[in-house]
Chains A and B, each alone.
Chain A
Amino acid sequence: EDQVTQSPEALRLQEGESSSLNCSYTVSGLRGLFWYRQDPGKGPEFLFTLYSAGEEKEKERLKATLTKKESFLHITAPKPEDSATYLCAVYTDKLIFGTGTRLQVFP
């Protein structure tokens, strides 16, 4: 059965304290891995798509990487506005989401 697991479930950081979020997956026929940001009461906002092991993508303070079994979302020098839930999803013939990491960044 296809599975996506994210860790940690929740993460509290001081502003400027860099860290990484993990997304591990067990799927057959991976066609892509997506990272989304979701604010409370809102729909997910697209961040990155990764297609093959070794691929990396960056956007402002965020960097996503992909291996054959997991993906990391690295947050460098986070700011309070980065506080949100970060969702990982794998695409086989449909999107399968992890449960997310709730990130809180304090000033």
Chain B
Amino acid sequence: GAVVSQHPSRVICKSGTSVKIECRSLDFQATTMFWYRQFPKKSLMLMATSNEGSKATYEQGVEKDKFLINHASLTLSTLTVTSAHPEDSSFYICSADTGTGYGYTFGSGTRLTVV
């Protein structure tokens, strides 16, 4: 149980276009989901906390207008990278608190490459 599905796993887009990444909780309801960014051989950096039915809370230094987060239902949160540039290329991972006390469950990640 407690599976988080993230899609797509890989995406290549042209500079200036937008990309949407989906994160779904498959067998539980997630009122809160989290979006992370990970650079090669680096730690996960929290970008924002996504709350169902309300605005996301962004970490300091994260551009709200570039990284749009929508959490329209208890099982789906989306991250849209707008007007992507090569420096936005990274590994993006979502997670959700299952509420079971067994930690946060993570999606499998999305490798974004902007060319």
Q: Which residues of A contact B (CB under 8 A)?
A: 34, 36, 41-46, 49, 87, 89, 94-100, 102
A98-B43 in contact (CB<8A): yes
- Contact bitstring B43-79, A, C-beta under 8 A = 1, else 0: 1111001000000000000000000000000000000
Q: Which residues of B contact A (CB under 8 A)?
A: 4, 6, 34, 41-46, 49, 91, 93, 95, 101-109, 111
Bound-state Cα–Cα, A94 to B4, Å: 18
- Residues on B with beta carbons closer than 8 Å to the beta carbon of A100: 43
Closest chain A residue to B91, Cβ basis? A41
Using a Cβ cutoff of 8 Å, how many contacts connect chains A and B?
A: 50
Some 26 contacts from A to B, beta carbons below 8 A apart, are A34-B104, A36-B103, A41-B111, A42-B108, A42-B109, A43-B4, A43-B6, A43-B95, A43-B107, A44-B44, A44-B95, A44-B106, A46-B105, A87-B43, A95-B34, A95-B44, A95-B95, A95-B104, A96-B46, A97-B43, A97-B44, A98-B43, A99-B42, A99-B43, A100-B43, A102-B41
